[in-house]
Chain A
Amino acid sequence: MLPTLSVLNLNGAVPQIAVAGAGMLIMLIDALFHRGSRRWAAYLALLGLAVALARVVESGASAETILDGALARDGLGMAFALVLIVAAALSVLVAMDYLRREEHERAEYYALILFATAGGLAMAMANDLVAVFIGLETLSISLYVLSAFFTGDAASREAALKYLLLGAFASAFFLYGIALLYGASGTTRLVEMGTAIRLAGTQADPLLWGGVALIIVGVGFKLALVPFHSWAPDVYQGAPTSVTAFMSVASKVAAFAALVRLLVVVLAPAAPLTSALLALLAVLTMTVGNILALAQDEVKRLLAYSSIAQAGYILVAAVAGEVGAAAVLFYLLGYAFTNLGAFAVVLAWSRRGEGRLPFSDLAGLGFRRPWTAAALSLFLLSLTGMPLTVGFVGKLYLFGAAVQAGWTWLAIVAVLNSVVSAFYYLRLVVIMYMREAEMPLALQRAGLALGVALAVCAAGVILLGLVPGVALDWARQAVAVVLS
């Protein structure tokens, strides 16, 4: 029987259609009438994202299927979609002046950001492993191209090559995992797969366990979990800074959305073993990420290691499964503001034609650029987890969820890691305010769009830190509505 249009329920897929459609429109307009400034492409991208955002916000607390069951339109999917769209919009704002300054202002940049976002949205809402795979690939392939966007820059080319080779390698693992899970359960639909696994019990089925392990390897690569993290520092450092900002947030949000859904819907019966495996990865990721971050002397690479460690903290709550889902969501919302903001400052301060921002360049900037320096200090304090910032509340809930699920030792390891991380985050603040510049940095004008993005990020970090109640309630209610 052929599915009818009503089965497809295209109305529910408006977020993806709006985002991908705006991307295609940008490509088309640019091909037909390309001359002059490409600022219109950024505005069109923001418009597409606004339409998607409006559609996501107005969706009620119901769970229904889209595209004959391939996607799920439920609280969990919509909440992660919201975080993703906000992150994409901020990334567009951050990129506008930067691309012009670096003389790489081309319309396809914004189209690729939109395509990546559409892929991420598909992952967040996927109810089918094949949909997860296609979303993952749409996101990743767009990011490979974006990493290589500064083709004249050797570091950008190298970053893209490394990302592509390791990303494709990881995708193959993920796909083989899908094949094995399909073999074990006879379906690729998540809900039906969960039922099949529950009925079969958790007796040793090599197909099931092999599939789960391969999928965790594939997702682990995307999230840059240790020991699958080796690509992340090079790619984060080499890619254009605006791309690094976007990918450090978007790919984490999308991959964690898919992981949380898998853990809640499919793997709940297998929880003891998957939790143990994820706990091991969380400990390795936090510890190795933090220790390697200590040895860095360049801000962009430091933030790369820091975001490896941050993925470890988030994984601590993912270990708790259903209990931790709301904490994961809330932390990712805060992390989107914090990390995008931090990379935006790096981008504003780095020399033209150079992505690097060595620690020595930071010296004295605390007083030469008081507002931007205050914003960077705020983001660094939030990444550390200082009270009154969203990082503190977020970590409290992440680790609290782990304790609630009986993983007290894991929470203790995470807290100890946070203490270690304070050393390298606060060192940057100290350099900014307490050291004199030997060779003052020639600063660029920041631009209005970047200023707006920084202000939104800073406001998000402070507001979510001071009055987290509303957002926490939203997160709890959202993750409670899961298609199953």
Chain B
Amino acid sequence: MSVPVYGYVALSGLLFLIGAIGVLVRRNVLVILMCVELMLNAANLALLAFGSAHQSLDGQVTVLMVMAVAAAEVAVGLALIVTLFRHQGATDVDEVSLLKG
């Protein structure tokens, strides 16, 4: 028995929601980055599901590009976190609050 398209889309929506809530609720920078990855992968799942529903390859190709982009984003993100940790020993967003007003 095959799972209908809306099943995949519902799952991806759920993953996206979990990721979004995680970004808003969690305070550790690494965990926030992981939550963003979860959101991107939720979108990937939706792209794949719609691609198979429309019988087109565009969705799959897009997913490959998104993976490359996400890898670049994480690389910059981790580099930033390392710099931050070296200078002030912080991995918590609340400890980084010089700028406000």
Contact = CB atoms under 8 A, between A and B. Distances in A.
B15 to A, nearest CB: 10
Nearest to A174: B43
A237 B43 contact: no
A187 interface: yes
Given A141-B76, A145-B76, A151 B9 contact: no
Contacts, number: 128
Contacts of B72: 137, 141
Given A155-B99, A187-B56, A176 B42 contact: yes
Grouping DSSP codes into helix (H, G, I), strand (E, B) and loop, the B interface class, with mixed when no group exceeds half, is helix
B43 A158 contact: no
Contacts of B51: 182
A441 B52 CA distance: 65
Contacts of A180: 46
Interface stretch (A161-169, A251-259, A310-318, A337-345): A161-169
Interface in B54-101: 54, 56, 58-59, 61-62, 65-66, 69, 72-73, 76-77, 80-81, 83-84, 87-88, 93, 96-101
A64 interface: no
A179 B47 contact: yes
Contacts of B16: 172, 176
A145 B66 CA distance: 19
Contacts of B23: 165, 169
How many A residues touch the partner, as a band?
35 or more
Nearest to A157: B84
A178 interface: yes
Interface residues of B, number: 47
Contact of A158 (B54, B59, B98): B98
Contacts of A158: 96-99
A301 interface: yes
Given A154-B88, A187-B58, A178 B76 contact: no
Given A151-B87, A154-B98, A158-B99, 17 more contacts: A130-B61, A130-B65, A137-B73, A144-B76, A154-B88, A158-B96, A158-B98, A162-B99, A165-B23, A165-B33, A168-B77, A175-B40, A175-B43, A176-B39, A179-B47, A182-B58, A187-B58
